[in-house]
Structure 1
Amino acid sequence: MNTKITGNDLIALGFRQGKWMKDAITHINKNNLKDDEMIDYLEQFKSPDPIALHKSPIDFSINIKAENEEEKGNVKKVINSMQTLMKTPTLVDGAIMPDACPAGPDGTIPVGGVAVAKNAIHPGMHSADICCSVMLTDFGTADPKAVLDAAHANTHFGPGGRDRDLQFRLPETLIDAFEANYFLNDSNMMQIARSHLGTQGDGNHFLFVGKSKKTGNTMMITHHGSRGPGAKLYTKGMKVAERFRKELSPETMKQNAWIPFETEEGQRYWEALQTIRDWTKLNHEVIHNTVAETLAITIENRYWNEHNFVFKSGDLFYHAKGATPLDAKFMPDITGPRLIPLNMGEPVLIVEGNTTATNLGFAPHGAGRNVSRTQHRKSKTGTTMQIFKEETKGLDIRFFSKETDITELPSAYKNAQAVRTQMDEFNLGKVIDEVMPYGCIMAGDFQKNAPWKIKREKKRARNKSKP
């Protein structure tokens, strides 16, 4: 009597368990394959040898230098992290910008970093804030205070989404795109795609109003990413990338796992990224359009750009973790120059530029940080209100939560002039106009009086009062 081959037999022969195994076992037993004949058949399912890390880091361009003692430690950490990162086997080139700062453990792509991979998408290199981007609308001669007031009444900062009666309509074309992609097609994803539309989140995201230095026109700039939909796609992408990492390159750091582009998963993930990009662009547009409708003013001009995304050129994937694309090939819907915000007290720079061997087609995305939020908060003396008044004199600065966040004040960021100087030195874009600041809205310290925190403090107080 013939003995049937089982999955355990194949594992004992050194094969990894997978979807292929069930059909292979059926074929072997149906055709009564034995010994060398069976081994020859199984060769097609043999796992490839693990892909090793590069023995030495791939060379990358350093478009940053320390301007003072405080920055030396920051720059050293950034360069060390990039050196470790550039051992990832898919990478072929990289660069760091003048606003670079660490974004995690050694080997994590820094903010202000660009990593170029061949035929691979690394979800960890675009992070959860997929398609973090900026949009500018030129409102002509509109009063900047009126624009800021209308924006304040219509935007949404902080966690969560809009109430049902305040939600914007999600177009059918986007709904179809979500439903057609298995990374995006689930009920919770669709729910947050609707409720988060027209929201800006927290952290360093903002709504800025100012006047063009060149024309005097009032301009509004928004800064935010893909909110809940992007965060959910990132989580799913990291799980798929981890599965490939374990199979293809176990030595690769988990944060640098990748999805091979030529696989079904790679193709679908790339398509999902484009849908999230479309959603994010719409997320900006609905806020800008609502302001125009509220004030019954004409839109003179509009343009936008991402600075946290994956850009494709042939078989190369440029992962820009906080880097502004200069090269037109990276933006299929380019309608104008690029935007680089610095801080709430500085102009938003309007730039254009050319691709070089050292900038890889990118510019900085802002001023960056030298120290963490916690370190910055500890370094300040005086009351929150004193610090706020001192740093925002002459500006209309508002926090949506009504709680000041001193970690978003100008002193939290690198010196803006130093960043501009290094942009010139390293050929990272030419400033063609500036939007001079009038005012700005940010989330603020929304956690200070959050309902969950108040509830927790009340519980602690009750417990202390008990005998």
Structure 2
Amino acid sequence: MKKIDGHKLLNFASHLDDSTIEQAKDTAAMPFVHPHVALMPDAHSGKGSAVGTVIPTLDAVIPAAVGVDIGCGMIAARTVYAEADLAGRDLAALRVALEDAIPLSPGNYNDNVDRYPFTRARIALLEDLAQRNEVDLGHSTTWRRQLGSLGGGNHFIELCVDERDRVWMFLHSGSRGVGNKIAQKHIKVAQRLMEQWWWTDRLPNRDLAFLPQGTREFACYLRELAWAQRFALENRAEMMDRFRVALAEWMGVDPTTADQLEVERVNTHHNYTVKERHGGRDVWLTRKGAVDAHEGVRAVIPGSMGTRSYIVRGKGNAAGLCSAPHGAGRRFSRTEARKRFTVDDLAERMRGIEYRHGEAWIDEIPDAYKDIDQVMADAADLVEVEHVLRQILNVKGQ
């Protein structure tokens, strides 16, 4: 850990580019930050504030710092199977089954909500939450069909094996189109308020526009933010239940007993805001690309496709604001990765792993990300590692 002089900023990353540092300095300079901003080991530049930034604020929230994929995160579930149980089975067939069960890529939603018996209960829960909290979803009439869909970018589904050769189901996704609409709506509201209150010229950049506690706009954002975070949590759970059914069928097990295949589950956000106590004060803590690492809290830290991932337990590090990295973190932008690497490079890096081949995923090549082993070494004071996972199957959104 290193304090960046002259700023309320602590850095846990051994490798940072200048743009990430400057973004973090801008965020830390906001007058309501308390006690400091923490940069996680996987930090890299992002929109408004750097990804991998933990931002504690007094009586205000910055919607763009939370981000447009509200509640994005990871879910991992350990199964009853060992790697030896999969011997001789066609992983490509499981990949195709997963692609059929879970709509992939932005804009791809379910044709209906009746295919699986567990979907309706989740929709009813979210409908009730929206009604009780007066959440306006008029901008997203398809949100029900979005539930159980993956999305694109670095969202993925994987079958993994841990250090004891136990098989895990693993996936990464968030609040999909509905969460994006909620985020964009409130980012614009915050920017409009800054203009009305003559605050725009005092902001390091427009994407640090904030909503003050006590205003109607703040209260509305917090209600809709909470709903989007719950949608993201339920979305991952929905996809994991579908994954479990597909795995059962692939293994020749009655899919109605698929719940018996699962031993344990960890479902965590890494893009969200929550009220916590830090530096002796109650703050709104925004983890933008970071996970909760309070003492004993379990979390999931994925590597890039083709590298290791981790199940961890938090150490409650106060300097790190009880947080930890959310993954490897990008080293090269998507555009730069496409300039540097080819589809053959990707195939070489994914040797021995079943995955979706093609140029669409070049920008997700492991070389475009930071070294996950270095990230985890930098995070040694933040979390302890429980399990180390390696992929045997990967499905990416496009």
Aligned to 1:437: 391
- The Cα RMSD (Å) is 2.3
Change (3 A) 1:110 1:371: same
Cα distance in 2 for partners of 1:163, 1:300 equals 28
Equivalent position to 1:187, from 134, 138, 149: 138
Give the Cα–Cα distance (whole angstroms) in 2 for the partners of residues 58 and 397 of structure 1: 44
Residues 226-263 of structure 1, C-alpha deviation per residue, up to 9 Å, x if partnerless? 01111111112112212332344331232111112222
Q: Name the residue aligned to 1:316.
A: 283
Which residue matches 2:365? 409
Aligned residues: 363
Whole-Å separation in 2 of the counterparts to 1:120 and 1:350: 32
How far apart, CA to CA, are the structure 1 residues paired with 2:336 and 2:95? 31
4+ runs deviating over 4 angstroms: 146-149
**C-alpha contact (below 8 Å) 2:41/2:378 kept by paired residues:** yes
CA deviation after TM superposition for structure 1 residue 421, in Å: 1.9
2: CA distance, partners of 1:404 / 1:82: 31
The answer to whether the aligner puts 1:303 opposite 2:246 as a matched pair is: no
Matches within 5 A, 1:287-366: 287-294=239-246, 295=248, 296=255, 297=258, 298=260, 299-313=262-276, 315-327=282-294, 337-366=298-327
Deviation per residue, 1:183-207 (Å, 9 max, x gap): x324342x22112111111111100
Q: Which moved more, 1:147-156 or 1:358-367?
A: 147-156
- DSSP-derived class of the 2:318 partner: coil
**TM-score scaled to structure 1, two decimals?**
0.73
Counterpart for residue 374 of structure 1: 335
Secondary structure (helix, strand or coil) at the match of 1:276 reads helix
The question of whether the paired residues in 1 share the 8 Å contact of 2:293 and 2:383 is answered with yes
Which letter does structure 2 place at the counterpart of 1:164?
A: D
Range moving further from structure 2, 170-179 or 230-239: 170-179
Name the structure 2 match of 1:455. none
- Which letter maps to 2:65? M
Post-superposition CA distance 1:270-327 (Å, at most 9, x none) = 1221211111111111111123234233221111111111121153011111011102
Q: Which residue of the partner structure matches residue 395 of structure 1?
A: 353
Matched residues in 1 for 2:361 and 2:243: separation? 25
Which residue type is aligned with residue 300 of structure 1?
V
- CA displacement, residues 416-459 of structure 1 (integer Å, 9 cap, x when unaligned): 222122122xx121111112211110023xxxxxxxxxxxxxxx
Q: Percent identity between the aligned chains? A: 26
Are 2:52 and 1:112 equivalent residues in the alignment?
Answer: yes
**How far apart are the structure 1 equivalents of 2:339 and 2:311?**
33
Match of 2:26 in 1: 84
* Counterpart selection for 2:78 from 138, 144, 147: 138
Is the radius of gyration larger for structure 1 or structure 2?
1
Distance 1:293 1:394, change over 3 A: closer
SS class of match (1:389): helix
Aligned pairs (5 A) from 1:153-172:
153-165=100-112, 168-169=119-120, 170-172=122-124
CA contact (8 A) 2:60 2:213 kept: yes
Alpha-carbon deviation of 1:112?
Answer: 0.8
**1:421 corresponds to which of 374, 377, 392:** 377
One-letter amino acid of the structure 2 residue matched with residue 281 of structure 1: L
Shift of 1:178: 2.0
Q: Any conservation in 1 of the 2:293–2:322 contact (CA below 8 Å)?
A: yes
Residue 41 (structure 2) pairs with residue 98 (structure 1): yes
User: Counterpart of 1:436 in structure 2: which amino acid?
Assistant: R
1:122 correspondence with 2:62: yes
* Cα distance in 1, alignment partners of residues 364 and 50 from structure 2: 19
Deviations 1:329-364 (A, max 9, x none): xxxxx9x62100011112220111222232111111
Q: What stretches of structure 1 of length at least 5 have no aligned partner?
A: 1-55, 67-73, 329-333, 445-467
Structure 2 distance, partners of 1:264, 1:360, is: 28
Q: Contact conserved, 1:151 with 1:287, CA < 8 A, in 2?
A: no
Which of these residues, 122, 143, 154, is aligned with residue 204 of structure 1? 154
Alpha-carbon distance between aligned partners in 2 of 1:91 and 1:61, rounded to the nearest angstrom? 13
> Which residue does 2:234 correspond to in 1?
282
How far apart are the structure 2 equivalents of 1:321 and 1:269?
17
Structure 2 letter corresponding to 1:317? W
SS of structure 1 residue aligned to 2:272 = strand
SS in 1 for 2:107: coil
Deviation at 1:138, TM superposition (A): 1.6
- Cα distance in 1 for partners of 2:104, 2:195 equals 39
Aligned equivalents of 2:350 and 2:102: distance in 1?
A: 22
Contact 1:131 1:306 in 2 (8 A): yes
